[in-house]
Each structure stands twice: as C-alpha cells, then as structure tokens.
C-alpha cells in the first residue's frame, strides 16, 4: 500500500468489490479502510464505537448474523487486531485531517453491500475480469465500492493540497437499511460542520455528467410487522383458530388502499411475508417487512402511521394481535443552492466532465439526509451530488457495474469542491443560512 491511492483507483475499487458485506457486518471492509487510512496518514481516526454511539444504530441484524460475518472476515485473513473494535457490529469509521485555521468540511461515503448474488455471466465485466463478489450471496450492486474509493482518494488529495481547515470523512455503514446515517449525525464528528458533501455514482446519469445537487429525496421508514393468532385444525375446528395469514391478507389489501395525500407524493410497499406451517393448520404467526415513503418527512409520517394502524386494525378484526416496529428511517433534506453552485463551478473545471446539471430530483431515499439535516440545522450548508457513470443495468441488479473512468472524475469533482469552499473567493457564505 505504499503507492498513492490515486495511482490505483481501479485496483482498490476491485478489491473492495470482491468482498461486499451487508449493513453492520462490514468487518473486512472497515479493516481494509483503516489500513488505507493509516497509510495515507490522518490526524485522527475514529473506528467503530469511537466514531458514534452504538446505541444510536438502527436496523442492527441478529447476533448470529453478526457473528457469521465476523468469522468470515477472519477466515479471509483480516487482521484480528483491526477486527476486534468492530465486534458486535460497530463497523465504519471517521477520518479527520486537521490543517489549522479554516472551515470545517464533511464528506460522507457509504460502505455496505446488498444481498444480491452477483452474475457470473461472461458478459459481466467483474466476472470476466476476475473481481466478481467472492461471498456468493452479497454484491456491491449500488456502487458503494466506488464511493469508498472516492473517499480515500479525495482525502489523500486534500492532504497533499494547500487545504486549510478541518476535513472529516465519514465512512458510513448500513446505508442500504437506513441504519448508519443517524448515529454518525449524532456523533461529535458531525458538530460544527460548515460545508457538507455526500455523493452517489450513476443513478442513470452517464459517464462525464455531474449533477451538482439533488432535490426531493424521499423520507422513508423500514417496518417489521408480526401478527399473532391462535392455531387450530383447519378441517376439524377452524372456528377455534384466529388466522394470522387471513389477518395479514386483510392488512396488505388495506395498506395498498391508504389514500394519497393532497400535500404531495407518498409510497407504501409490503416487500416480504413469511408464516404458516402446513395446509391443514390455521397459522398462528406471520411476519411481514414493509416500508413507507413520502415527499416530505411529514408525508412519510402520515404513510407510516396509516400503515401501522391498518396492520393493527386488520389483526384485531380477525381476533389476532399485531406488533409493528419501525426498524429504521430517514428524513428528507435538500441540497443548499449556495453549495450546489460551488460544486457546479468546481465540476466545470474538471476535464473529464462533459456536462454539469445544476439540480435533479432524486426520487429515492438516502440516510445521508440525517447528516445533511444536522449540518443545516446548525447553520452550515449541505449538498448531495451525483457523478455519472455508464452502468449496463440498473442499480440493485446482479449485473450492475460502473465505468471505471468515473473513478478519477469523482475524485476530481470532490477534491475541487472541497478546496473551493476552503479558500477561494467563489466559496459560498455559511452565514447566509444562519437565520433561516
């Protein structure tokens, strides 16, 4: 790892791509990041529980899953000393450069993978070129391997520059389950940030295109629901049971009938159900996984409360009882126009950028909004940008991939954006947001 990160962007991204880990199980990933950050040399490196309060985590998986992925990391030859602080699912880290007087700047990149088995088709470049996921069940199908590479290389580039101020780079776990943004936003490292950047690759924007700032990310929540009834013989005494599957069917139909709202767009979905034992047994227990989204945080709260109410009332109608838990959630937060302008100006100076789009609707959800909301509430400016890439298929598919030309583009856009707010005359004014 003596070579500069910038000199081996593709190599690093491919190494991270081979070892995707799900939310709060990014053990090997975090250890790899720590190795790289130590080689770059930072002024402060907070790992795991030193980066946030573990009690603030959301959507933490079972102990069995955490133990399984911890052992996998050990089996892959990960340094046990690097893994020990991560035991129990305290993954991720925050790296800090402290360069004297100047603004405090934050950059957030996410680090988790998805439960998708990656394609082994010969036409899929990671399979053809030998860097397909080695886990057999998870994949970097949303570009987080690229995001981590950007974070490391940008940190290195800023360190080698004349940057004056403080830069904190958040390597955030558990984005895909909206679990890691909140604890990092509540941490001491999110305090006093003047300018905050978050970034995503692709999202149907081609290589060479940059969206300076996104608008209208959807507020969202993940929900686990359980309905408990009473078992009975389905032939001999069906009337003696309280059918949890019947109650779930009523709940699902009712959830999709939640009225849309005059204030804006809402979304609901029941994505997975499980329950029952046999055809001749009245089911006494079923589980469902659902979500609610809204164009604003208030609209998400409306959809969430209606979803909860309809599960509970459907269960009551059939003599059952429902337990509805919010596993994780994230608010809406929009990019600040002043910082969008700074990113757009910086992107215009990058040779590999062909087109700069000022703003675009996001249309999905992101828990980086917790950090954006914290910064904006404290009087700073926040921006979420997109660096385009030609991806052969959509995000969250088994054949997703990135155009590796976008690796260098992303580093250049982020580095120049950070340097611009740290000292150039075109830097936006934080005070402009102080009285909003």
pLDDT: which is higher, 77 or 423 = 77
Task: List, for residues 233-248, the tens digit of each pLDDT value.
Answer: 999 999 999 999 999 9
396 annotated as belonging to a binding site for a ligand: yes
pLDDT at 23: 98
Task: List, for residues 321-337, the tens digit of each pLDDT value.
Answer: 999 999 999 999 999 99
Tokens of 78: 């990960």
Task: Provide DSSP, 324-350.
Answer: EEEEEEE---PPPHHHHHHHHHHHHT-
| Residue 103 scores a pLDDT above 70 | yes
- Alpha-carbon gap, residue 91 to 345, rounded angstroms: 35
Taking residues 251-262, report their average pLDDT: 97
Neighbours of 232 (CB within 10 A): 18
Helix (H, G, I), strand (E, B) or coil at 283: coil
pLDDT at 425: 39
CA angle 371, 377, 383 (to 5 degrees): 50
- Alpha-carbon gap, residue 34 to 160, rounded angstroms: 19
- Quick one: residue 379, left, alpha or beta (phi over 0 = left, psi -120 to 50 = alpha)? left
- Alpha-carbon gap, residue 143 to 407, rounded angstroms: 11
pLDDT at 363: 83
Q: Greatest CA separation found in the chain? A: 82
pLDDT at 432: 40
Neighbours of 188 (CB within 10 A): 12
Any residues with CB less than 8 A from the CB of 86 and at least 6 apart, and which? 27, 30, 31, 47, 48, 70
pLDDT at 3: 81
> Alpha helix locations (H) across 19-173?
27-40, 63-75, 80-83, 125-128, 144-159
Averaged confidence pLDDT in the chain? 95
Task: List, for residues 19-36, the tens digit of each pLDDT value.
Answer: 999 999 999 999 999 999
pLDDT at 430: 47
pLDDT at 436: 32
Helix (H) or strand (E) holding 361: strand 355-361
Domain coordinates of the chain in residue numbers?
A: 3-217+333-422, 219-329
Task: List, for residues 394-415, the tens digit of each pLDDT value.
Answer: 999 999 999 999 999 999 999 9
Task: Please report which confidence band the pLDDT of residue 428 belongs to, taking 50, 70 and 90 as the band edges.
Answer: low
Taking residues 86-94, report their average pLDDT: 98
For residue 233, CA distances in Å to 245, 250, 276 come to: 14, 21, 13
| Residue 426 scores a pLDDT above 70 | no
Q: Give me the phi and psi of 29, to 5 degrees please.
A: -60, -50
* Domain 3-217+333-422: homologous superfamily in CATH: Zn peptidases (3.40.630.10)
Report the percentage of the chain scoring pLDDT > 70.
97
Task: List, for residues 363-385, the tens digit of each pLDDT value.
Answer: 889 999 999 999 999 999 999 99
144 annotated as belonging to a binding site for a ligand: yes
142 annotated as belonging to a binding site for a ligand: yes
- The pTM (predicted TM-score) of the whole model is 0.93
19 annotated as belonging to a binding site for a ligand: no
Q: Burial, 100: exposed, middle or buried (Cβ in 10 Å; 0-12, 13-18, 19+)?
A: exposed
Residues 302 and 261 sit within 8 Å (Cβ to Cβ): yes
Task: List, for residues 333-355, the tens digit of each pLDDT value.
Answer: 999 999 999 999 999 999 999 99
Tokens of 379: 């009087």
- Alpha-carbon gap, residue 93 to 37, rounded angstroms: 10
pLDDT at 84: 97
| Residue 435 scores a pLDDT above 80 | no
pLDDT at 433: 37
For residue 257, CA distances in Å to 170, 283, 308, 416 come to: 40, 25, 13, 48
Tokens of 416: 């120049």
Taking residues 289-307, report their average pLDDT: 97
Task: List, for residues 110-146, the tens digit of each pLDDT value.
Answer: 999 999 999 999 999 999 999 999 999 999 999 999 9
Architecture (CATH level 2) of domain 219-329: 2-Layer Sandwich (3.30)
């Amino acid at each position: 790892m003596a070579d500069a990160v910038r000199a081996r962007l593709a190599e690093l991204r491919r190494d991270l791509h081979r070892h995707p880990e799900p939310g709060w199980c990014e053990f090997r990933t975090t250890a790899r990041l720590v190795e790289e950050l130590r080689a770059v040399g930072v002024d402060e490196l907070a790992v795991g529980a030193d980066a946030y309060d573990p009690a603030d985590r959301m959507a933490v998986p079972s102990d069995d899953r955490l133990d399984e992925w911890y052992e996998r990391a050990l089996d892959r030859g990960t340094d046990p000393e690097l893994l020990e602080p991560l035991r129990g699912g305290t993954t991720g880290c925050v790296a800090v450069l402290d360069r004297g007087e100047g603004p405090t700047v934050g950059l957030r990149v996410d680090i988790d993978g998805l439960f998708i088995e990656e394609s082994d088709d010969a036409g899929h470049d990671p399979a053809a070129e030998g860097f397909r996921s080695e886990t057999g069940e998870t994949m970097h199908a949303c570009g987080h391997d690229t995001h981590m590479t950007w974070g490391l290389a940008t940190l290195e580039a800023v360190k080698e520059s004349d940057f004056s101020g403080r830069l904190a780079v958040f390597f955030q776990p558990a984005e895909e389950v909206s679990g890691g943004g909140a604890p990092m936003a509540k941490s001491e490292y999110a305090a006093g940030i003047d300018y905050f950047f978050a970034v995503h690759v692709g999202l149907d924007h081609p290589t060479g295109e940059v969206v300076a700032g996104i608008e209208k990310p959807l507020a969202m929540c993940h929900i686990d629901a359980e309905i408990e009834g009473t078992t009975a013989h389905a032939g001999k005494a069906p009337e003696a049971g309280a059918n949890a599957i019947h109650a779930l069917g009523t709940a699902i139909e009712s959830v999709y009938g939640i009225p849309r709202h005059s204030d804006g767009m809402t979304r609901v979905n029941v994505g997975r159900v499980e329950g029952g034992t046999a055809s001749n047994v009245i089911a006494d227990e079923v589980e469902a996984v659902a979500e609610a989204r809204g164009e604003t945080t208030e609209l998400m709260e409306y959809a969430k409360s209606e979803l909860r109410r309809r599960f509970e009332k459907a269960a009551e109608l059939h003599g059952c009882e429902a337990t509805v838990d919010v596993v994780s959630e994230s608010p809406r937060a929009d990019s600040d126009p002043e910082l969008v302008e700074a990113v757009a100006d910086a992107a215009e100076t990058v040779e590999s950028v062909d087109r700069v789009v000022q703003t675009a609707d996001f249309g999905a959800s992101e828990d980086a909004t917790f950090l954006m909301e914290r910064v904006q509430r404290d009087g700073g400016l926040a921006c979420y940008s997109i660096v385009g890439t030609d991806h052969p298929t959509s995000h969250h598919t088994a054949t997703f991939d990135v155009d590796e030309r976008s690796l260098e583009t992303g580093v250049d856009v982020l580095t120049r954006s950070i340097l611009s707010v740290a000292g150039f005359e075109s830097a936006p004014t934080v005070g402009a947001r102080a009285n909003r």
